[in-house]
Amino acid sequence: MELLIKNGAVYDPKNGIKGDKTDISIKDGKIVKSVSSSAKIIDAGGRLVMAGGVDGHSHIAGAKVNVGRLMRPEDTRIGIKPRTKITRPQTGYTVPNVYAMGYRYAQMGYTTVFEAAQAIMKARHTHEELEEIPIIDKGALTLFGSNWPTMDFVREKDMDKLAAYVAWGLLASRGYGVKVVNPGGGEMWGYGKNVTGLDDVVPSFDVTPREIIVSLMKANEMLGLPHSVHLHCNNLGKPGNYKTTLASMELANQVKASKDRQVLHVTHATFNAWGGTNWGDFESKADEIANYVNNCDNVTIDMGQLIWGSATTMTADGPVQYANAKLLHAKWGNGDVELEDASGVVPIFYVKQISVHAIMWAIGLELALLTKDPYKVLLTTDHPNGGPFVNYPEVIALLMSNKKRQEEIKTVHEAVHKRTKIPGIDRELDFNDIAIMTRTGSAKVLGLLDTKGHLGVGADADIAIYDIKPDQIDPSVEHAKVKSAFQSAAYTIKGGEVVVKDGQITATPVGRTYWVDASVPQEHTDIMMKDIRHKFKNYYSIGLANYMVQDAYVTHPKVVKAGISAGVN
Amino acid sequence: MTLKVNLITGRTIDQGVTIENKTSSDYQNATAYCELNSNDVGKVGKPGNNIKIKTEHGEVVVKLKENNGNPDGLAFIPMGPWANALVDPDTKGCGMPGFKGIPAQIDATNEKILLMKELIARYK
Amino acid sequence: MTVITDALCPFCGCTCDDITVVVEDNKIMEVKNACKIGVAKIKGHHRIKAPMMRTDKKGEFKEVSYDEAIEAASKILAGSTRPLLYGWASALCEVHKKGILLAEELGAIIDNTATVCHAPSTLAVHEKGLPSATLGQVKNRADLVVFWGSNPVHAHPRHMGRYSVFAKGFFNEKGRRGRKVIVVDVRKTDTAAMADEYIQLQQGSDYLVISALRAILAGQAAVVPDVVGGVPKEQLVKLVDTLKAAKFGAVFFGMGLTQSISRYKNIDNAISLITELNAFTKYVITPMRGHYNVTGFGNVCAWETGYGTAVDFARGAPYYNPGETAANDVLLRKETDAAMIIAGDAGAHFPADSVRQLARIPVIQIDPYWNPTTEVANVVIPVAICGVEVEGTAYRMDGVSLRYRKMIEPTHPTDVEILEKITERVRKIRGD
Ligand code: SF4
Ligand SMILES: [Zn+2]
């Protein structure tokens, strides 16, 4: 099938196109040089055209998300839509059902989304849900930061075994990358405790978070994985944690990148850029974080922007969730996974007049606006921790309009004036910056820039057309229009197929699941597996033979090859 | 004499073993009985005798068994159609019927224990 | 002869995955490692041979073809205004997905056997969440295990060996000797007989006793009466000390809590107790789920509809309110005008009044075995046995998802095949 998009005001940062009228030719799901005269034509009529959105950090599938649904029928009751001839019913706001996940991303022009955390042991569940999310391409990052084999191999300083374990763990979980959450803390939470910084020793394993992070970054680069280590820093959720965040970022200097990308991605930085010593003197240190990022070339971040109203916090950071539940007097879901990690789910409601929430709201925006290079800061809400992904258009509008920000600042707790810099920041991002933060940059950070996040020849034909004419709009003033255009794409094209027209779902193809097959020398795997077999024999509650995710759970795989013997490194 | 008891129902291993074989006498043997402690058993007969149990919701004949783990006045019948002839269908607004804590009366009886088929036939 | 190792047992929520099965001529000759229930389930019994139908429920069944049975079933469902699709827990997740789709097509109510088991636990989760962990976490760490209103010796025979009481782990190399076991129940069960400490409550007083424990834990022992639910206060005070002294405590609760008078409020209170204990030391709480894949249904239903069970599609979108939309409620109110019972036995496990309503309305049964539901059915469609003859997914009681192996070739069509055909027929009949 051929398709030609004419007269679009195209923003394609990778290919240096900034709003020029450019035609896009599509054939067999890919962007090509040209198409025949029989191609179907979509006349964009001068409207904004971008590559399909790419989300590098969102919680869309798996055990924690489903615990969120089961804990929160009050959330399921929001956003209910009956089935149609094309779509299954939709439910939920912060924890939508699988169908709503796919439809709502597609309606915003997003076509690729990565689930940010799965324990290997629960990966089958993640994939069961991913399989049922319609339209979008997806993948999942696998947790390694508190796994017993990780800690054993780090202690033994055996990088070959560690790399072999990471490769095997990605295969076992059909995972795309290395996620590290509060390294060491997941194990400590097994006895209700936590680490308090990079140099705390994890009892019984005799390793520190610092050693875990550095070793996993090294293993990640030994394997030449497409994505870097994706870190949820220690001390998340504690005032003063920006120091830990900065110290963690510095660790990237110990490791050389194997590819043209960062060595470390520090995620949902809104929750990690906190100054002060308690909730009373809590303040933003977003400027310090942004300043560090501006002056280095091996660390990227994403916002984790806070959205007013209901959110569901969910993370492998078990101890922080217990603390949240206590602080908020909220219901508490906890889900330790043997030998691997912790996890917790707690509902929250972000209120404009609560000073801490107002400051957090400002931190996300500061991070985005004070970081000079948009390739270094991705637009996320850490869905649904900062708020649901359907609010990305609100975040886009805030970043593009100082007027909107100033209007908003008037309505929030006065603490934003004294304890953040947001009132004085007048930078306004343009469509090119937004395209980077929502697609090109995310694709680059994920290591997918060959086929995702751009509109050059060879890219996947994932395209969004938004109902605004960039040359006829002043986003600074007409921010409401910008927001509504990004909420409801005029067209979303996925793999060359029109899946959304005028904000309505028109087709629900099955997306692909990305995972990384990294090879290592067989002898490394053999030695590593001795340890693994021992752990299954003695400590796991299931057998090794029943551990790995089977092919039946990844019916539309997109396998990315990496590894040591693949000659990538 | 009539013995007043508090009735609970629940799983047993033999009920589990025979659960996919509910037309068998093994299933009946595993589920069509009522346990009382020896003190209470003595008030209505001997282990192995048939007894009739009545509640507000129904009545059924089952075999009497002794289980001295039961406190006085507590009767246990394994979950299944015999027990469910007696339980409280009211879900109290939360979906779950009353399978435990049903006031019941027990009398000795000469009536026979209905087969599963006969028991369900009463509902048609 | 083939030997299948690492096979999974499709009976209880322990989902033991270390079963060895010896197969010869497509017959299971030997089952190793499973408990006696598991062996019985895997070996199986004589099956319903062919589909059967009857119009008069008092009359005899007549054997029919699968096509005829599917046609009749589809007509019943398509013609119903308030159908109930019930059962599911003895089937794999792949079956659940088809069932939910059919419920959507029909505007039906779909509910699973949790409704008479742990659905009240889910109601409590709505209120309080659930601090839990995988069973291996318990095996490796727990030095205190509490069974409250649950009786694993009978209902989950290998639980204590594999995960809780006897299991050896990383931080507990001694197994049974490394942990204290407490049983709280209303009668001295076989599980209670193995405990280090047995606390006997008056039936129905769990809520009171849990409240007393919470008061004592909060330093308010003074407000607790001398005897609560038949338990002397001193024993409760001592119990709180024991609970606090553990390094990792695991509480497993059963239908003693979900089915007695306070229903979900018992669990609500128990979860609060566990949450509060976490201020002192590590505690987790886990429901002892009955059927091997009752947890799976709750998961599939949650990710597809947002709710775990008792979902009413009459509005075209999922609606959930147990007490209103749970199977026994709609049967007792005589709303249900047709029912499909699949992989669960309402005839055996529902109260008499609910079975009476099933006897009044057209009933379709999809099941390998003849059981009390068959006695009230009009259309009976025998199927292959999930987890023995059909591979697929199930969720252990702690939410760990596992893939069941096929041990032998099926002699009957699978649930999935039957449901697909019914759904297709229903669509045609309804003209969309
Ligand atoms: S404990 Fe449960 S799962 Fe394990 S063998 Fe017995 S019945 Fe099967
Ligand atoms: Zn996250």
The predicted structure's pLDDT at residue C432: 64
User: Inter-chain contact B71–C263, Cβ cutoff 8 Å?
Assistant: no
Crossing angle between the packed helical segments A392-400 and A355-370, to the nearest 10 degrees: 60
User: C15 to chain A, minimum CA–CA distance in Å?
Assistant: 9
User: Inter-chain contact B97–C345, Cβ cutoff 8 Å?
Assistant: no
HEC per residue, chain C: CEEEEEECCCCECCCCCCEEEEEECCEEEEEECCCHHHHHHHHCCCCCCCCEECCCCCCCCEECCHHHHHHHHHHHHHCCCCEEEEECCCCCHHHHHHHHHHHHHHCCEEEEHHHHCCHHHHHHHHHHEEEEECHHHHHHHCCEEEEECCCHHHHCCCHHHHCCCCCCCCCCCCHHHHCEEEEEECCCCHHHHCCCEEEECCCCCHHHHHHHHHHHHCCCHHHCCCEECCEEHHHHHHHHHHHHHCCEEEEEECHHHHCCCCCHHHHHHHHHHHHHHCCCCEEEEEECCCECCHHHHHHHHHHHHCCCCCEECCCCCCEECCCCCCHHHHHHCCCCCEEEEECCCHHHHCCHHHHHHHHHCCEEEECCCCCHHHHCCCEEECCCCECCCECEEEECCCCCEEEECCCCCCCCCCHHHHHHHHHHHHHHHHCC
Let me know whether C326 and C382 are in one domain: yes
Let me know whether C315 and C386 are in one domain: yes
**pLDDT tens-digit profile of A97-110?**
999 999 999 999 99
Let me know whether C232 and C184 are in one domain: yes
Q: Which of C32, C35, C42 has the most ligand 1 atoms within 8 A of CB, as the residue to mutate?
A: C35
Nearest to A336 among C134, C313, C393 (CB): C134
Q: CA-nearest residue of chain C to A339?
A: C137
The predicted structure's pLDDT at residue A568: 42
CA distances from A530 to A2, A148, A164, A564, B13 (A): 52, 14, 12, 20, 39
Q: What percent of chain A has pLDDT over 90?
A: 99
Let me know whether C33 and C94 are in one domain: no
Let me know whether C25 and C103 are in one domain: no
Distance from Cα C15 to the centre of ligand 1, integer Å? 6
Boundary (domain end) residue, out of C287, C309, C328: C287
**DSSP class of residue C359?**
H
Q: Are C78 and C47 in contact (CB under 8 A)?
A: no
User: Inter-chain contact A338–C284, Cβ cutoff 8 Å?
Assistant: no
Name the region of C25 (left: φ>0; alpha: ψ -120 to 50; beta: rest). Answer: left
| Nearest ligand, measured from the Cα of A270 | 2
> Which token pair is C313?
């599609």
Q: What percent of chain C has pLDDT over 70?
A: 100
**A229 against C46, higher pLDDT:** A229
Given a cut of 60, is residue A567 above it in pLDDT? Answer: no
Domain edges within chain A:
2-51+453-505, 54-446
Boundary (domain end) residue, out of C269, C287, C305: C287
Cα–Cα distance, C20 to A92 (Å, whole number): 43
- From chain B, the residues in CB contact with C45 under 8 A are 20-21, 24
User: A312 to chain C, minimum CA–CA distance in Å?
Assistant: 12
**Which atom of ligand 1 lies closest to the CA of C159?**
1
Given a cut of 80, is residue C204 above it in pLDDT? Answer: yes
- From chain C, the residues in CB contact with B101 under 8 A are 203-204, 260-261
Mean of the per-residue pLDDT values for chain A?
97
Question: Which residue puts its alpha carbon closest to atom 7 of ligand 1?
Answer: C38
Question: Which residue puts its alpha carbon closest to atom 4 of ligand 1?
Answer: C16
**Which atom of ligand 1 lies closest to the CA of C19?**
5
Q: Are C117 and C258 in contact (CB under 8 A)?
A: yes
Given a cut of 70, is residue A380 above it in pLDDT? Answer: yes
User: Inter-chain contact C115–B95, Cβ cutoff 8 Å?
Assistant: yes
CATH class entry, domain A2-51+453-505: mainly beta
pLDDT, mean of residues A161-185 = 98
Contacts of C319 (CB under 8 A, 6+ apart): C311, C312, C313, C325
- From chain C, the residues in CB contact with A92 under 8 A are 306
Given a cut of 80, is residue C136 above it in pLDDT? Answer: yes
The predicted structure's pLDDT at residue C414: 98
Cα–Cα distance, A309 to A354 (Å, whole number): 12
Q: Give the binding-site residues of ligand 1, using a 6 Å CB cut-off.
A: C 9, 11-12, 14-16, 34-35, 37-38, 156-158
**Neighbouring-strand partners of residue A24:** A5
Let me know whether C296 and C423 are in one domain: yes
**Which atom of ligand 1 lies closest to the CA of C157?**
1
pLDDT truncated to tens, each residue of chain B (124 aa)?
899 999 999 999 999 999 999 999 999 999 999 999 999 999 999 999 999 999 999 999 999 999 999 999 999 999 999 999 999 999 999 999 999 999 999 999 999 999 999 999 999 9
User: B1 to chain C, minimum CA–CA distance in Å?
Assistant: 24
CA distances from C144 to A31, A364, C244, C246, C282 (A): 61, 44, 10, 6, 10
**pLDDT tens-digit profile of C230-269?**
999 999 999 999 999 999 999 999 999 999 999 999 999 9
CA distances from C140 to A317, A534, C133, C172 (A): 20, 14, 11, 6
Let me know whether C19 and C91 are in one domain: no
Cα–Cα distance, A129 to A96 (Å, whole number): 12
* Confidence bin at A565 (pLDDT 50/70/90): low
Boundary (domain end) residue, out of C260, C287, C314: C287
Let me know whether C334 and C210 are in one domain: no
* Confidence bin at A1 (pLDDT 50/70/90): confident
**pLDDT tens-digit profile of C98-133?**
999 999 999 999 999 999 999 999 999 999 999 999
Could you give the number of structural domains in chain C?
3
pLDDT, mean of residues A212-221 = 98
Let me know whether C279 and C320 are in one domain: no
- From chain A, the residues in CB contact with C171 under 8 A are 204
Distance from Cα C187 to the centre of ligand 1, integer Å? 24
Let me know whether C231 and C311 are in one domain: no
DSSP string, A425-490: ------HHHHHIIIIIHHHHHHT-TTTSS--STTSB--EEEES--GGG--TTT-HHHHHHHHHS-S
Given a cut of 90, is residue C46 above it in pLDDT? Answer: no
For residue C34, the enclosing domain spans 2-41
CATH class entry, domain A54-446: alpha beta
Q: Which domains does chain B have, with CATH numbers?
A: 3-121 (2.40.40.20)
Distance from Cα B16 to the centre of ligand 1, integer Å? 10
Let me know whether C164 and C267 are in one domain: yes
**pLDDT tens-digit profile of C53-99?**
999 999 999 999 999 999 999 999 999 999 999 999 999 999 999 99
Given a cut of 80, is residue C383 above it in pLDDT? Answer: yes
Interface test mutation site (partner A, options C118, C134, C139, C325, max chain A beta carbons within 10 A): C134
Q: CA-nearest residue of chain B to C40?
A: B17
User: Inter-chain contact A332–C306, Cβ cutoff 8 Å?
Assistant: no
User: Inter-chain contact C192–B69, Cβ cutoff 8 Å?
Assistant: yes
Cα–Cα distance, C80 to C199 (Å, whole number): 50
> Which token pair is B60?
């059924």
Cα–Cα distance, C231 to A147 (Å, whole number): 43
User: B49 to chain C, minimum CA–CA distance in Å?
Assistant: 22
Whether chain A has a CB inside 8 Å of the CB on C107: the answer is: no
Given a cut of 80, is residue C355 above it in pLDDT? Answer: yes
Cα–Cα distance, C384 to B119 (Å, whole number): 28
Letter string b/e over residues C182-202, b meaning 16 or more CB atoms within 10 A of that residue's CB? bbbbbbbbebbebbeebbbbb
Cα–Cα distance, C343 to C346 (Å, whole number): 10
Whether chain A has a CB inside 8 Å of the CB on C96: the answer is: no
How far apart are the two ends of chain A, measured CA to CA in Å? 38
**pLDDT tens-digit profile of A461-471?**
999 999 999 99
User: Inter-chain contact C256–B24, Cβ cutoff 8 Å?
Assistant: no
- From chain A, the residues in CB contact with C320 under 8 A are 73, 76
pLDDT, mean of residues C43-48 = 92
Whether chain A has a CB inside 8 Å of the CB on C177: the answer is: no
What is the dihedral angle through the alpha carbons of C335, C340, C344, C348, rounded to the nearest 10 degrees? 60
Q: Residues 235..264 of C with a Cβ closer than 8 Å to B: which?
A: 255-256, 258-261, 263-264
* Residue C414's CATH number: 3.40.50.740
pTM attached to this predicted model: 0.98
Q: What percent of chain A has pLDDT over 70?
A: 99
Question: Which residue puts its alpha carbon closest to atom 8 of ligand 1?
Answer: C38
User: Inter-chain contact B11–C255, Cβ cutoff 8 Å?
Assistant: yes
Interface test mutation site (partner B, options C46, C375, C376, max chain B beta carbons within 10 A): C375
pLDDT, mean of residues C365-386 = 98
User: Inter-chain contact B96–C12, Cβ cutoff 8 Å?
Assistant: no
Question: Which residue puts its alpha carbon closest to atom 3 of ligand 1?
Answer: C15
Whether chain A has a CB inside 8 Å of the CB on C278: the answer is: yes
Q: Do chains C and B touch (3 or more CB pairs under 8 A)?
A: yes
Mean of the per-residue pLDDT values for chain C?
97
